[in-house]
Structure 1
Amino acid sequence: MSDSNNSKTHWKTLINPDYIGAYALPDGEDLTVTIDYVQSEEVTGSGGKKEVCTVAHLKGHKPMILNVTNSKSVHKLYGPYIEDWAGKDITLYASTTKLAGEMVECLRIRPNVTARKKPKIEAARFAKAIEAVKGGTYPARKLSDQFDLTPEQRKELKEATKQKEEA
């Protein structure tokens, strides 16, 4: 296994928690997400203790429990009413806080929303996309707009576009 963090698995991902945590951020990078809705819910903690928490449901990600610190951060961005937070972007980052005398990882919300990073595209999916570009069933522009392509992938896309135009 390679030493890069991309190929390593954080142990917390194996226990499938119901809520997003700092462990879920790729290589400790910021993650910009969209709030679907926010509501008060009963949450069961790791010791089986139940408590009512404010929970932000995120599009395409696990929900996030909003503590007071994070709720204040969203308030500063979008106002005090949770109904106004739906459809809004927030940028998450990993931090640490003291809990029961111990420093633990936590999620925090940046005071400004950062632009979303385009995802990388896996080699097999890229190869299929190139064939679709050559066949005229997928626009090259859409591929480059949706994904963060490597210089080699950009070159291959340019060649595929040229082949399609010559056909």
Structure 2
Amino acid sequence: MTHWKTQFNYKWLGAYCLPDGKDIILTIKEMKREEVVGTSGKKELLLVAYFHEAVKPMVVNKTNCKALEKLFKTPIIEDWSGKQMQVGASRVDAFGDKVDALRVRPFLPKVGEDVRPTIETGSAVWNSSIDYLKSGNDLNAIMRKYKLTKEQIKTLQQYEVK
């Protein structure tokens, strides 16, 4: 399913960026303060995390900073570089409403754990994957993003343009 926010060019990582709403594991490249323009046009200096993975940078609020401090056992943001965290969405009260917000999970990701979401055969994501392959794209790109069964891989290989 397609989140409406994916139809706009937002600069920052948001809950809408999570594949099928599933947690992702990110490796911090660097943390730095920079000017962020809010939706109201207000400019603020905020902490932003940049990652080694090909994702948008993430504005890191106080709640997530506290989680990172506990997770990495240090309040020093320079010491967070190179460390991995698991990020997911949580429903929170903000801006006078309930919204989905990115939250750093309070545990270290398990090394080698495959956190890619699965695809249900026949689902919208499955059909999009078939269309993706039919337009000349590579099955490996889908396999990097989703966990597939051997049967699903065999079926999808039939749609690859050779």
Matched residues, percent identical? 42
- Aligned with 1:63 (options 57, 68, 71): 57
Point out the structure with max Rg over C-alpha.
1
The yes-or-no answer on 1:23 pairing with 2:22 is no
- Aligned with 1:87 (options 82, 87, 91): 82
Unaligned runs of 5+ in 1: 1-7, 130-143, 157-167
Q: Which has the higher helix share?
A: 1
Shift of 1:96: 1.6
SS at match of 2:106: coil
Unaligned runs of 5+ in 2: 119-128, 156-162
Shift of 1:116: 4.4
- Misfit runs of 4+, over 3 Å: 144-149, 153-156
SS at match of 1:148: coil
Distance in 2 of aligned mates of 1:27 and 1:146: 11
Normalised by the length of structure 2, the TM-score is: 0.71
* Residues paired across the two proteins, number: 133
**1:152 alignment counterpart:** 151
Normalised by the length of structure 1, the TM-score is: 0.69
**1:117 alignment counterpart:** 115
Question: Structure 1 residues 44, 116: closer, same or farther in 2, change over 3 A?
Answer: farther
SS at match of 1:61: coil
**1:3 alignment counterpart:** none
Shift of 1:119: 7.2
